[in-house]
Amino acid sequence: MIVLAATPIGNLGDASRRLIEALTNAEVVAAEDTRTAIHLMRALGVENRPRLIALHEHNEREKAAEVVELARAADVLVLTDAGMPAISDPGFPLVEAAAAAGVTVTALPGPSAVLTALAVSGLPTDRFTFEGFLPRKQGDRRGILRSLSDERRTMVFFESPHRLAESLADVALELGDDRRVVVCRELTKLHEEVRRGSARALADWALEGVRGEICIVIAGSEPRVVDLDRGVALVLAAVAAGDRLKDAAGEVAEATGLSKRDLYQGALAAR
């Protein structure tokens, strides 16, 4: 089978007993960086020397079929440099290929920067969305943020430290200066920092320069305050643009906090 193994995102003490056991017994390890995998095994006191296969963003689609075939005869342990494979890291094409080929895929759960940042952020955790890395180009980045301006769920992003100030400035521009933001830096490491504030305040703070691995957690948008008549009009406009009535009512309800049933019935009556 294919075994996706979560590795520490900073503190080696977060390595699970199952991870150490899997590394000790592994015959084949597919790793994002084989040097990092070797370093991890040494740091954890694992003396096993399995066959190592490089599986990274530049070759994983080409290597997927080979690794899947290997997994028919022996377990293949899949590692990325930190966190869970396939979550903004190599692994998804391999899992996709394994599922298509009928090869079992399982996981050794463990550290996750996404969930750790969300948990410590102090922002709502009942519903959230992970958006990966923001685009490097400013125009593309602003476009993505603009498309998320009405997103009600808490949003989690990865970002590089040298683009953090620019990205936070774009958050302030597209989502509003006062949008609540949390920057989580160096999670689980010695210099861990969780800084909370408005998008504008954190953008100004980041101008001083920030180092380390960065997660940005952004509060979802507040419901637009509209009355039922205006909500029904929005539903009808969406239907006129091609949406199904049921879908349009759900989207407007999500954006405004109005009752989906009332919107649906109101739109039916108006038609």
> CA distances (Å), 58 to each of 38, 76, 157, 160, in order?
20, 19, 22, 20
pLDDT computed for residue 225 by the predictor: 64
Instruction: Count CB-CB contacts under 10 A for residue 98.
Output: 22
CATH class of the region 2-108: alpha beta
Backbone torsions φ then ψ of 136, nearest 5 degrees: -75, -35
Cβ contact 233:219 at 8 Å: no
What is the CATH number that goes with domain 130-218?
A: 3.30.950.10
Task: Give me the sign of the Cα torsion angle 250, 256, 260, 262.
Answer: negative
- Residues forming a β-bridge with 198: 180
Q: 95-147 pLDDT, tens per residue? A: 999 999 999 999 999 999 999 999 999 999 999 999 999 999 999 999 999 99
Write down how long the chain is: 271
Question: Which residue in 92, 88, 62, 65 sits closest to 78, CA to CA?
Answer: 92
- Chunked into runs of 10 residues, the chain (271 residues) has average pLDDT values of 97 97 98 97 97 95 95 96 94 97 97 97 97 96 95 96 97 97 97 97 96 97 81 91 92 86 92 81
Q: Which helix (H) or strand (E) holds 53?
A: strand 51-54
> CA distances (Å), 49 to each of 34, 52, 238, in order?
12, 8, 59
Cβ contact 182:195 at 8 Å: yes
Using the structure block, give the residue that is written with the tokens 């022996």.
74
Domain ranges of the chain: 2-108, 130-218, 228-270
- Global pTM exceeds 0.85: no
Two tokens, residue 135 = 């685009």
- Amino acid letter, residue 205: W
Question: Which residue in 150, 167, 170, 169 sits closest to 158, CA to CA?
Answer: 167
Two tokens, residue 148 = 């998320």
> CA distances (Å), 130 to each of 24, 64, 141, 216, 217, in order?
32, 25, 15, 10, 9
Cβ contact 3:22 at 8 Å: yes
